[in-house]
Amino acid sequence: MAKESGMGMSIAVDDSGGSARTISNDITSFNLSTPRGVQDITGLDKSAVERLLLLADGTVTLTGVFNDGSNMSHDVFKTVPSSSVARTVTITVSGQALAMEMFFSDYALTRAASGELTWTATGALAGGAVPTWG
């Protein structure tokens, strides 16, 4: 195993029809989180905290450059406000892949004073499957 950069990553997101679209070229950055819930179960007889691991979760925030080409980022996310479908998000780096069924709750566009047009899309785990790298 070796340390690596994040260069050459691939991110695919299903459009509202369920077709995976690789939109890596439009994405400039992303945040991924796969937290677990934790319950404090410390009894009065303990001198240190005692915990149980609870449910797994997953969230992703994708940020990119506006591209309204066929099957590109705007095509994928333009239906976020009008459709209520889970979308598969697949993140691949160095042969390692994480696929999660997610609900996207926001597709926000930003036009900066300099003229650049960017977007942010936020997704949360939908299907109850534990996010697992494979």
> CATH number for the domain including 51?
2.40.30
pLDDT at residue number 2: 84
Q: Name the more confident of 32 and 6.
A: 32
The answer to whether position 131 is within a domain reads no
pLDDT value at 61 more than 80: yes
Residues 6 or more apart from 100 whose CB is under 8 A from it?
A: 58, 60, 88, 89, 123, 125, 127, 129, 131
Cα of first residue to Cα of last residue in the chain, in angstroms, is: 15
The answer to whether position 133 is within a domain reads no
The answer to whether position 4 is within a domain reads no
The answer to whether position 45 is within a domain reads yes
Q: Report the domain count for the chain.
A: 1
How many Cα atoms within 13 Å fall on the side-chain side of residue 63?
A: 9
The answer to whether position 78 is within a domain reads yes
Answer whether 60's CB lies under 8 Å from 125's CB: no
Helix H or strand E encompassing 94: none
Answer whether 79's CB lies under 8 Å from 73's CB: no
The answer to whether position 17 is within a domain reads yes
Mean pLDDT, residues 33-45: 97
Percentage above 70 pLDDT, the chain = 99
The answer to whether position 134 is within a domain reads no
Computed from CA positions of residues 14, 21, 73, 7, in that sequence, does the dihedral angle turn out positive or negative? positive
* pTM (predicted TM-score): 0.92
The answer to whether position 5 is within a domain reads no
Mean pLDDT, residues 51-66: 98
pLDDT at residue number 112: 97
pLDDT at residue number 127: 87
Mean pLDDT, residues 31-48: 97
Residues 6 or more apart from 7 whose CB is under 8 A from it?
A: none
| 131: its two tokens | 């996010």
Percentage above 90 pLDDT, the chain = 93
For the stretch 102-127, pLDDT in tens is 999 999 999 999 999 999 999 999 98
pLDDT value at 1 more than 70: no
Domain that holds residue 76: 10-125
